[in-house]
Structure 1
């Protein structure tokens, strides 16, 4: 096959044992609708079709899409040449599976937070997984940590050797499982969490005063008296989500917060 996809940052799974292990850990049933982002050369897509009710598989690279269309012949497969993380797509699914380029990781997590589904199985860079699981006060604790932990229970399923991919990446990878534990988060909520983390080194008291002054909000600082001296970066995810809800309720609709 002609070399493709390098400009999209893709690393293709070349280890058949890894593909089988991913399928085993995914625990997909014949009743499940699978949503795959990043078909690649179709090695995982092929096995997903065997164990599921149907597969919607998205590939942005036109040459890879054509390769999969030519070589994957399953009646339960819907191959799409496009961006599977397009917010306008309204496809319902049970299981999300992805080996997408790592630069799309943050976007993928934010997109999934807005969806209702049973489970996500994703290959990610180990460093990014550390961010997802980081605790308040950790150096890697970021907005994406709060977003993910409010929405999902996250579990590391396995470490993935670099040699399982072609080309061999310069970073270590992990397979994780995301299980929704709350209602989906809106894009506005996600944007507001990211906004709050632009003040990650500031105290809650400072942020509330700033918002009340500059955004004409009416947040009662007494509601946060127990954490007013805490920095945003030291707040647990649920505290940050509560403050985000205050933004939504008290900031004028004409003000856009990013």
Structure 2
């Protein structure tokens, strides 16, 4: 019998903390749908970030081979121990996930396993946690996270829209993101003032633009089987340069790409003009119009011309 979240919290006299962004889901149907959307099976080891009162954790434990739940608030220990007492495949770790060495943990405890992350992330710290999971090149298959709907919209945005930005491109570089469900405020304790969404990210076998279908020069579709040769995996140095270019493009997003990049010292204007010309892009184009493929090609051309 799964414990009732509201009742469990009240019985233990637990006070939810604003500093940790604690909003616990109270509807069991939401737990079930998240597990379904995450595609959890008995072959999977799940890393859950922010288990809260353990409602989702219990649902994950029923579906998965094993669950490691990482919680920052040690005062939730008695709540979690009670709500998860019937499950022998759950390990509780009380730590700040941003400081915890997840890579070493997975290498030592679960080498070669199918690893999936599921999380109801505090909204104030969504981006740092997501980028840690992506940038550390962890052996993950998928990441399924509850985030503010506005943030989810930005992460899966398309070029040219108001939501499109640096976080969109960073997520697309490492994964294929998709909003799989929306969640109303009333299913949380306490209820947030915003809509939430569950975002499912399928991790790419290799990072970069290879999974995209757009040819940077022509902006037309290109065959998927030609993409790996067109867009080989970047070196660490080239990757860092790519994200410098992306950051500069969106730091002053209303400026033209030419001005935004030259103002941030990415390259002299003449070199940027030459690269845009080679890509058949107009000099007055803004960064928000470029796809990941095009940013990757542009950064490669600018690096060559240095």
User: What interval of TM-score do these two structures reach, taking the shorter chain for normalisation?
Assistant: 0.7 to 0.9
Aligned with 2:125 (options 90, 100, 104): 104
The 5 A counterparts of 1:31-180 are 31-73=43-85, 74-86=87-99, 88-90=101-103, 91-92=105-106, 94-114=115-135, 115=137, 116-180=139-203
CA distance in structure 1 between the aligned counterparts of 2:271 and 2:178, rounded to whole angstroms? 36
The answer to whether the 8 A contact 2:242-2:295 is kept is no
Length-normalised TM-score, structure 1: 0.83
Which is worse superposed, 66-75 or 119-128? Answer: 66-75
CA distance in structure 1 between the aligned counterparts of 2:101 and 2:123, rounded to whole angstroms? 22
CA distance in structure 1 between the aligned counterparts of 2:77 and 2:41, rounded to whole angstroms? 25
CA distance in structure 1 between the aligned counterparts of 2:241 and 2:118, rounded to whole angstroms? 24
Shift of 1:213: 4.7
Shift of 1:97: 0.3
Length-normalised TM-score, structure 2: 0.71
**Cα pair distance change 1:208/1:41, threshold 3 Å:** closer
Gaps of at least 5 residues in structure 1 are 252-258
The answer to whether the 8 A contact 2:175-2:207 is kept is no
Shift of 1:40: 0.4
Give per-residue Cα distances to partners, 1:58-117, cap 9 Å, x unaligned.
111121134313542333222111122337431336111000111112123322322341
Shift of 1:207: 4.6
The match for 1:236 is 291
The match for 1:222 is 274
**Cα pair distance change 1:31/1:165, threshold 3 Å:** same
CA distance in structure 1 between the aligned counterparts of 2:180 and 2:199, rounded to whole angstroms? 5
Partner secondary structure for residue 191 of structure 2: coil
Shift of 1:201: 2.8
Aligned with 1:206 (options 259, 263, 284): 259
**Cα pair distance change 1:111/1:247, threshold 3 Å:** farther
CA distance in structure 2 between the aligned counterparts of 1:71 and 1:175, rounded to whole angstroms? 23
The alignment's C-alpha RMSD in Å is 2.8
User: How many pairs were matched up?
Assistant: 248
CA distance in structure 1 between the aligned counterparts of 2:305 and 2:82, rounded to whole angstroms? 54
Gaps of at least 5 residues in structure 2 are 1-11, 107-113, 209-235
The answer to whether the 8 A contact 2:275-2:301 is kept is no
